Structure 1
């Protein structure tokens, strides 16, 4: 059985130079970034996305292949690659304007999946994504979801909530950022809102809060949190996607692809999952752009941490 697949958009980010005079094209799209993160962790994920035959599409293919992503389920397209023009604020936080077709297309996987991650822009369009996710869920695949809200594309929060909650109903694991949840539910505390998602069916919900750390809840009432570590932040581009890749890697490493077992996780195991995912995000923040670490880099980080801890003991 193939371990993991990621469904969604693969796009090109146009990132401005500090003076705004030029832009650099870099591979992007939240699901694409998650696939890159998993590939660098040696998970060989299937990417279920549309890839153009233009120059940008070739760049996306090269970057994915070099990162260990399986492109056998990526659909070829004659349409131009979709673009996201990025703006960075003084804290390295990115916002985007989007151009082109942002829907998903893919070639059906040849083998069953243990885990499917979907979300972001492509998950909001039409019925095909919903129907596919529903079908693989029925076949026993664990479903992970990140809404990755883009206000400029979703319109008003009230209408977006209905779309997002329909997707949450399909998922066993839901991860969302505090920024996204505040936009969706402006009059509700984000922790309360995310905890309320458990009533829609997930086994595990996670809220990432940037420098405030991470909180999580299971369907069996277990709560766990992780404080963020202080790291030199270059920018936050791709940090949330790196977190998702780290979370999925942790689930696969522990063979946690059964929803009931996931919902029954004890707090210590849940903290361990958050630790791995949070570390991936922090290492990504310390680098420019969506550049998640490899398995070797992650292992080296932990080895260095153990050495420093032993020296300080």
Structure 2
């Protein structure tokens, strides 16, 4: 895809140490933004990741993994240890997390063409002091780039609830596309329905809000309308990276429709449910491929095309 626009992802890399009952530990490259960057590159999108990686075996593992898909990896050179997450999987493949993470991202030297689109979220926008660096960079790029955000809430690391909500809402207001799981929304706004949250977020700035519902599929919200699709039936290996694969699939579809970049912003603001349904279908299919195999391994273009050929369409 030589004409693919340049995409920039900003956020953490994490070494996921996966523990399942009766099985030895497995270490997988992870971190929500890193997974999104990897997924975009596997789908043929020219992608750069700004992140922190330590000079340690986990850092080398993750860098090699990302570069194997074509991700350009830029780091701040701080030498901080590579973050780790212990991922516990139950017999149904559902994940719980424990973390050893510091996020102190400093300025990163970035050369080359300006990005068409910037994606961020997760711990990178929640943990100080690095979160301030991330938000400053997004603000500096927003005039020339569309922006997407996924809060990817990790309650154990979010700190004070009210402060975490304010930070998330600041990121939402900077964004054109926001994706959140129903679990994220329940933590952020326990007394509000996903529909209410999506409507309020849309009024603060984004053109579209995507809400994932696990095995129940996903819903995309526009001002005044919504479109939903179910998740195709799959045998789940684990759910690690499912939401990130959804995000990369959605961004890939938006790029294919010419809706990323400052010049695509007007198109995002005039999205109809038919086109948005296609975006949602790509995102759900990408997640379905990922949960069917171990670790955060999103599809490449051929695998996504095969999944789409066997998937279901959106329901209005």
Secondary structure of 1:237's aligned partner: coil
| Alignment deviations for residues 59-109 of structure 1 (CA, whole Å, 9 cap, x no partner) | 0111011112112x3333422211111112333121211113234353324
Secondary structure of 2:250's aligned partner: helix
Aligned residue in 2 for 1:272: 278
Tell me how far apart the structure 2 counterparts of residues 109 and 89 of structure 1 sit (CA, whole Å): 44
Alignment of 1:1-313 (within 5 A): 3-19=6-22, 22-71=24-73, 73-105=74-106, 106-124=108-126, 125-126=128-129, 127-138=132-143, 140-219=144-223, 221-257=224-260, 258-303=264-309, 305=310
Contact 2:11 2:34 in 1 (8 A): yes
Q: How far off its partner does 1:19 sit? A: 2.7
Contact 1:181 1:194 in 2 (8 A): no
Contact 1:53 1:76 in 2 (8 A): no
Contact 2:6 2:113 in 1 (8 A): no
Q: How far off its partner does 1:225 sit? A: 1.2
| Alignment deviations for residues 118-151 of structure 1 (CA, whole Å, 9 cap, x no partner) | 000011234211111011002x200000000010
Tell me how far apart the structure 2 counterparts of residues 107 and 191 of structure 1 sit (CA, whole Å): 40
Q: How far off its partner does 1:171 sit? A: 0.6
Q: How far off its partner does 1:224 sit? A: 1.2
Secondary structure of 1:85's aligned partner: strand
The answer to which of 110-119 and 125-134 deviates more is 125-134
Secondary structure of 1:14's aligned partner: strand
Contact 1:198 1:205 in 2 (8 A): yes
Contact 2:42 2:301 in 1 (8 A): yes
Q: How far off its partner does 1:17 sit? A: 4.0
Secondary structure of 2:86's aligned partner: strand
Tell me how far apart the structure 1 counterparts of residues 100 and 250 of structure 2 sit (CA, whole Å): 30
Q: How far off its partner does 1:195 sit? A: 2.1
Contact 1:50 1:75 in 2 (8 A): yes
Count of matched residue pairs: 302
Contact 1:8 1:120 in 2 (8 A): yes
Contact 2:21 2:91 in 1 (8 A): no
Q: How far off its partner does 1:170 sit? A: 0.8
Tell me how far apart the structure 2 counterparts of residues 116 and 260 of structure 1 sit (CA, whole Å): 17
Q: How far off its partner does 1:156 sit? A: 4.2
Contact 2:175 2:205 in 1 (8 A): yes
Q: How far off its partner does 1:36 sit? A: 0.8
Contact 2:227 2:277 in 1 (8 A): yes
Contiguous gaps of at least 5 residues in structure 1: 307-313
Q: How far off its partner does 1:2 sit? A: 5.0
Contact 2:20 2:88 in 1 (8 A): no
| Alignment deviations for residues 218-254 of structure 1 (CA, whole Å, 9 cap, x no partner) | 24x3321112221111111100000000011011111
Secondary structure of 2:198's aligned partner: helix
Contact 1:103 1:121 in 2 (8 A): no
Secondary structure of 2:102's aligned partner: coil
